[in-house]
Amino acid sequence: MSIPNEALQKILQEIEARAIASQQQIGVTKAQITTKQRDIRMLQLTSKELAGLPSETPVYEGVGKMFVNVPIDTVNKRLTRESAEAALDITNLEKKLHYHETTHKNSRENLEQILKSGGRA
């Protein structure tokens, strides 16, 4: 028994659309991971620079259009917290990337299987 041409064409279009969407999401997710990794490197560099300063050195953080004097300990705590949040975000993005890669792979395999079978069910 074979599948009617219209139904086969619709199935192929849906699978191909899913594969294309997954491929696009893979690119977006990889870019987000790269951005988060860059953010972590910047935070680590800032923390390293602050570690080399004496504890009595005035440190300023930007608040809107002005700068506010902040204790180094407060800045270090914020940098540590932001690094941990970014690392957690990367973990979640890697899970999302794995999901999209699996979806893309499965869609491509389904397309190949349908095309090899010639539309026979």
Q: How many domains does the chain have?
A: 1
CATH number, residue 68: 1.10.287.370
Give per-residue pLDDT as tens, 6-63.
877 888 888 889 999 999 999 999 999 999 999 999 999 999 999 999 988 899 999 9
Nearest 5°: the CA angle 100, 103, 107 is: 140
Q: Which domain holds residue 51?
A: 5-119
Strand pairing partners for 59?
A: 70
Give per-residue pLDDT as tens, 59-79.
999 999 999 999 999 999 999
Instruction: Using pLDDT thresholds of 50, 70 and 90, give the confidence band for residue 1.
Output: very low
| 3-state percent helix, strand, coil for the chain, nearest multiple of 5 | 75, 10, 15
